[in-house]
Structure 1
Amino acid sequence: MSALIDGDEISEEAELVWLEDISILDYVRQSLDRLPNRRGRPAYHRDGRMVGYAVLHSRARPSRTSGTFRRRVFWLLPHDRDTAPQGLYATGAPAEAVDPTTLA
């Protein structure tokens, strides 16, 4: 888990959906996005590509103020190691990076 997301922030996750084979990725970036629903593929508005996302349990409650749900989205940028192995992240990884094979 990245230091940027606490375990209690993702306690309502039911499953992780991967859109790519994660066994070949050293890391993916993760963020907590405010989304209008618990399930389904979220819209993606970043550079790069979405690699996966979390689905929440049906008991997950929306925010009282916004009515949205906080869900993890996993993504990669064009300059990440999978497409630029000798680039900026040839060694090391960004702060929001996690090893996707260690996530449950």
Structure 2
Amino acid sequence: MRLLPHPATADIQLTEVLRALSDPVRLEIVTQLADSVELTCHGVSDNLEVHKSTASHHYRTLREAGVIFTRQEGRMKYISLRRDDLDARFPGLLDAILAAARVPA
């Protein structure tokens, strides 16, 4: 299993989290992950209307901001929401963002 670089919980910055979640595609990724324990990158990107390379960019942005955890097994990448880390660092933030994202337009 190959590990990709992730920020430590103490190094997650609020500005980076908010910047990462300001994009509608990345917010959709996080909304999908909130309802699951772990998903494959392929499984998430099937529901997005973006090219594979664009989806990879979004995953990297979320990972580097500390929003998601990515692990690789062979050719497959699995992603999960770093809910515990985000809740420890910014209590209630993720729940507020997810609640706002799920309100019909």
Q: Same fold (TM over 0.5)?
A: no
TM-score bracket relative to the smaller structure: under 0.3
Which structure's CA Rg is the greater one? 1
TM-score between both structures, scaled by the size of structure 1: 0.28
Instruction: Indicate the structure with greater strand content.
Output: 1
Instruction: Indicate the structure with greater helix content.
Output: 2
